[in-house]
Amino acid sequence: MTLREETQRREAEFLSPYACPSAASRGRQRSEEECPIRTPFQRDIDRIVYSKAFRRLKHKTQVFLLPEGDHYRTRMTHTLEVARIARTIARALALNEDLTEAIALGHDLGHTPFGHAGERVLNQLMPGGFAHFRQSVRVVERLEKNGQGLNLTWEVRNGILCHTKGPAAATLEGQVVRLADHIAYINHDIQDALRGGILYPMDIPLQASEVLGFTHRARIDTLVRDAVEASTGQPEIRQSPPVAQAMLALKDFMFQSVYTNPAAKGEEGKAQDMLQALFEYFQKHPDELPDDFQSIRAEESVDRAVCDYIAGMTDPFAVEQFTRRFIPAGWSMK
Q: Are 196 and 64 in contact (CB under 8 A)?
A: yes
The C-alpha atoms of residue 20 and residue 17 are separated, in whole angstroms, by: 8
pLDDT tens digit string along 286-328?
Answer: 999 999 999 999 999 999 999 999 999 999 999 999 999 999 9
Low-confidence ranges of the chain (pLDDT < 70): none
Residue 34: the pLDDT is: 97
SS3 170: coil
Q: Are 189 and 254 in contact (CB under 8 A)?
A: yes
Residue 49: the pLDDT is: 98
Residue 267: the pLDDT is: 83
CA atoms within 13 A on the CB side of 220: 19
The C-alpha atoms of residue 265 and residue 100 are separated, in whole angstroms, by: 32
Residue 234: the pLDDT is: 97
Residue 165: the pLDDT is: 87
Residue 133: the pLDDT is: 97
Which sign does the torsion angle of CA 94, 90, 133, 143 carry?
negative
The C-alpha atoms of residue 221 and residue 212 are separated, in whole angstroms, by: 8
Residue 263: the pLDDT is: 74
What is the DSSP secondary structure assignment for residue 21, as one 8-state letter? -
Residue 329: the pLDDT is: 83
Candidates 1, 180, 193; CA nearest to 92 is 180
What share of the chain has pLDDT > 70, as a percent? 99
The C-alpha atoms of residue 144 and residue 150 are separated, in whole angstroms, by: 6
SS3 328: coil
Residue 17: the pLDDT is: 98
Within 10 A of 177 (CB to CB), how many other CB atoms are there?
A: 34
Q: Domain-by-domain residue ranges, the chain?
A: 39-206
Residue 238: the pLDDT is: 98
The C-alpha atoms of residue 172 and residue 176 are separated, in whole angstroms, by: 6
Say how many residues make up the chain.
334
The C-alpha atoms of residue 286 and residue 130 are separated, in whole angstroms, by: 20
Residue 194: the pLDDT is: 93
- What CATH number belongs to 39-206? 1.10.3210.10
pLDDT tens digit string along 101-125?
Answer: 999 999 999 999 999 999 999 999 9
